[in-house]
Structures are given as C-alpha cells and as structure tokens.
A and B are shown apart, each in its own frame.
Chain A
Amino acid sequence: DAKTTQPNSMESNEEEPVHLPCNHSTISGTDYIHWYRQLPSQGPEYVIHGLTSNVNNRMASLAIAEDRKSSTLILHRATLRDAAVYYCILRGLMVRDDKIIFGKGTRLHILP
C-alpha cells in the first residue's frame, strides 16, 4: 500500500496561513490524495481531495506537486478551531479494493 509521510506536529499563529506538507513518493497514477482532520474527541472529518490539479473548497486548498510525489494542504487563515490532527491519505481508484490507511498525521497547534 502506498504510504504518506507527514511531520508529527506544527505550530501556527492565529489568522495566519498554514501549509501542511505530505510526502507520498510511491503514489500510483490512480491514487487520489485525500486529507482528513480530527478535532479533539471527535471522529475524523473530510477536508479535501485531488488527483493532479490543485483544488479549492470552503475549508482549504490542496496544492499537488507536478510529479505528484508530494502535496500541501493550505489553510488560508487559521483559527483556534483548526487545531486538530491532519491526515494525508492515498485512496485508490477502484472502490471495491479501497483501503484507507491512516498514518499518525500532523498535530496542528494554533497559537492565539
């Protein structure tokens, strides 16, 4: 299974942008890059996903490297509510064989 590598933790100041990196050097051509986050005492929640092109939604932006071996989740203006563990996950195209593998993720601390 393709794996991802993320920093264990990061800090950012409130109201500043945050760039969360993820390396996935063994990604296959049909793997989608998904990001989930887990707030304290809650289950993970979907943030964003993409295949090749950069993606934007109301929560965040996803920047994908041209060779697809890395990606960056961008929170444009962090708030205290964004303090969470962020997981970068690869998901295959074939839903039937889909197996999501969560790593340890990046724990994001937001400083007021």
Chain B
Amino acid sequence: EAGVVQSPRYKIIEKKQPVAFWCNPISGHNTLYWYRQNLGQGPELLIRYENEEAVDDSQLPKDRFSAERLKGVDSTLKIQPAELGDSAVYLCASSRGGETQYFGPGTRLLVL
C-alpha cells in the first residue's frame, strides 16, 4: 500500500512569493491533516479535513494561508505571500475516520 505522497520535497523561494504544497493521502483515508513543523519543535496542526469539509482550521493563518480538498482526496496548501517566518517543514497526514495518522515525508520550505 502506497503511503502519503507529498510534493515537492524541497522548495526555496524569495519572500513575498507564493508557494503551494500538494498531498495525496492513503487510498480510502477520509481524514487529512496539514501540519507545520519548525526546527526543533513538534508538528503543529494547521487544518484538518473530514472528506471535503475543513472541520478544524483554527490554527491556519487565514490572511496568507489557504487550503483546499475539492474532491475529498488530494489536497493543496498555499501560502501567498510567503514570509521569512514561514520557513519550516510542512507535513501532510491522513487517517481512516480519525484513527492512527500516517504522515508523509514533508515539504521543507526555505524562504529567503
């Protein structure tokens, strides 16, 4: 069974530029999560989807971050415009009905 797929694995951009991350969850997993992990810290939840519905986006900085999961399968997380403090690893995870979460390898973002 394929795991959670994320792309790109690495991204370097200049501040004020837009950036997007893509996630394809494990087949059959209806719950999808986006996390941000700063250096030396544990992951922090940004948004959680149940199928197409964002059921928890309380930690998503809505002025510059947006996410979508239009067909309830893959998802995109966007930052526009990026700031220096957005440099981090962005992790996607999926689960079946909120059970054990399976994480992707993450996208490492560097904003210059």
Known: A46-B100, A95-B98, A96-B55. A102 touches B105 (CB 8 A): no
- A interface, by DSSP: helix, strand, loop or mixed? loop
- Beta-carbon contacts under 8 Å, A97-111 to B: 98-105
- Report if B43 contacts A (CB, 8 A): yes
Could you tell me if B4 and A104 are in contact, using CB atoms closer than 8 angstroms?
no
Q: Are A43 and B91 in contact (CB under 8 A)?
A: yes
- Are B56 and A44 in contact, CB atoms less than 8 angstroms apart? no
Whether the Cβ atoms of A100 and B101 lie closer than 8 Å is yes
* A16 located at the interface, meaning its Cβ lies under 8 Å from any Cβ of chain B in the complex: no
CB–CB B106/A43 < 8 A: yes
A43 touching B42, Cβ below 8 Å: no
A45 and chain B: residue at smallest CB distance: B103
Total count of chain A residues near the partner, CB < 8 A: 19
**Known contacts A99-B56, A102-B44; is A42 also within 8 Å of B105 by CB?**
yes
Number of B positions contacting A (CB below 8 A) = 21
User: In the complex where A43-B93, A44-B43, A105-B42 touch, is A98 in contact with B98 (Cβ < 8 A)?
Assistant: yes
| Complex interface: chain B residues within 8 A of A101 (CB) | 45
Cβ of B98 to closest chain A Cβ, rounded Å = 3
* Contact of A103 with B42 at beta-carbon distance under 8 Å, contacts A43-B4, A45-B103, A46-B100 already known: yes
Contact sample, A vs B, 21 pairs, CB 8 Å cutoff: A42-B103, A42-B105, A42-B106, A43-B4, A43-B93, A43-B104, A43-B106, A44-B103, A49-B100, A87-B42, A95-B97, A95-B98, A95-B99, A96-B98, A98-B98, A101-B45, A102-B42, A102-B43, A102-B44, A104-B41, A105-B42
A interface residues, Cβ below 8 angstroms from B = 41-46, 49, 85, 87, 95-96, 98-105
